[in-house]
Amino acid sequence: MSKLFSLVQYFLPHHLITKIMGVFAESKFAKNFLIRLFIKKYNVDMTEARNTCIDQYPNFNAFFTRELREGARPIDNNPRVIVSPTDGRLLAAGRIDGDRLIQAKNHCFSCNDLLGGNNALASTFSNGNFATIYLSPKDYHRVHMPLKGTLIKTIHIPGRLFSVGYATSSNIPNLFARNERLVCVFSTDAGLFSLILVGAMVVGSIKTVWTKEAPKVLATPEIKEIDYKSQEIKVNLDKGAEVGRFELGSTVIVLFEQKLMQLNSNIVASKPIRMGESLGLVGNNLN
């Protein structure tokens, strides 16, 4: 069944479906009914939300990207601890084998392809570490900093919008390098890391905290790169600070330079993880 579901997606009008769903999610039509239905179906814990009253959300999208109450996701203040940037299920994590990352069992893909053919950037992460986290509908859908850093570059890469759940990641080759995505590259005192926000079916947009306009799905057919080192206003974000949000679901991939990170030895793929939980430690030769 999962192979059939994946096969059917090759023939779907991804962007048209996404555009229609994006408009619907921004409307007020039946929004309270839809929110209540969603909470019940996915067992959403609204006690974690900053705003627990669904009547006060102007539309479904505002509910979907809801903020959490203060203290709902504790962040380890030890500067050597690297934390998960988001809630979700850890699809894969480990060493980047040269240029290859694990997508799912029996599937790998190229770091160079993931980064839009940027050979120089891909080589930076050669033999480093990575983690791929899938955000299910019930998860908190904001993305945060795994450690303190300064934004140096973003790359908006157009592409398809396949679903990114386990069924498709197990059956569609190069899934994350096919889908539209936003690459955010940060510098730290210990090296570079990159947060890659991967779009998916019905993801209306990906919004970041440093831009007023979201890189909309359907925005441009070309790769668009912005160099933030030359910008007058610098984007410096602390560990745990918000980076951006998905308007209707998806996946986050985080890449770490080889010298930057040592993954926790108890990291297990397919397990749930929450924003703020430890992924590893700064440094490559730690006890």
Which entry of 87, 99, 163, 194 is annotated as an active-site residue?
A: 87
Report d(CA 278, CA 12) in Å as an integer: 38
Q: Is residue 250 annotated as a catalytic residue, yes or no?
A: yes
Which entry of 99, 144, 163, 205 is annotated as an active-site residue?
A: 144
Contacts by 16-19, CB closer than 8 A, 24 or more apart:
17/161, 17/201, 17/202, 18/161, 18/201, 18/202, 18/203, 18/204, 18/217, 18/218, 19/204, 19/217, 19/218
Q: Is residue 107 annotated as a catalytic residue, yes or no?
A: no
Q: Is residue 126 annotated as a catalytic residue, yes or no?
A: no
Which entry of 84, 163, 205, 250 is annotated as an active-site residue?
A: 250
Which stretches of the chain are DSSP H helices? Answer: 2-9, 14-26, 31-42, 60-64, 111-114, 119-124, 166-169, 175-178
In sequence order, which residues have a C-beta less than 8 Å from that of residue 207 and are 6 or more positions away? 214, 244, 245, 247
Residue length of the chain: 287
Q: What positions carry a catalytic annotation?
A: 87, 144, 250
